[in-house]
Amino acid sequence: MKKIEIFTDGACSGNPGPGGYGTILRFNNISKELYGGDPKTTNNRMEMTAVIKGLQALKEPCEITLYSDSKYVIDAITKGWAVGWKKRGWVKADKKPALNSDLWEIILQLLAVHKVEFVWVKGHAGHTENERCDELAVKGSQEARSLGASFDKVVGE
């Protein structure tokens, strides 16, 4: 299995508001940068979208170390919350609806294909790849605001 590193971040101007995501995939010192945005979204949805776009970019099952500064994403996966929400019909333990079930469904499907280790990184703390993902996410948010539409791009294509 190929060993891949994925770095992700999401940004939102207002919550909800225009948002963007940034994702870096790295394999054998070769990197690919993805970004995009949505004119009306939330920060958590953009954090999740960054993860989804990174995993969807892979063409075969891989062994992945995925870095995120989102406790929401990391905890929902590593603590089993998302699996529990799904088992309960997208209802949390407190009987309230689980938010973003559409995106959690996609993430859980993608995680079934790959072997993924999630690693939390502190945001805005000088982590080079996280800072770059943040730049891409902010760019995505700004472009989504001006376009008034959702979009996805690969840097350099």
Residues designated as active site = 9-10, 47, 69, 124, 134
Of 37, 35, 40, residue with least CA distance to 8: 35
Cα gap 129→106, rounded to integer Å: 24
Q: Please tell me whether the peptide bond between 16 and the residue prior to it is cis, using omega within 30 degrees of 0.
A: yes
**Cβ proximity of 98 and 92 under 8 Å:** yes
Q: What is the CA radius of gyration of the chain?
A: 15
What order of strands is seen across the sheet that includes strand 62-68?
A: 115-120, 62-68, 2-12, 17-27, 30-41, 151-154
CB 144 within 8 A of CB 138: no
Q: Residues marked as binding for Mg(2+)?
A: 9, 47, 69, 134
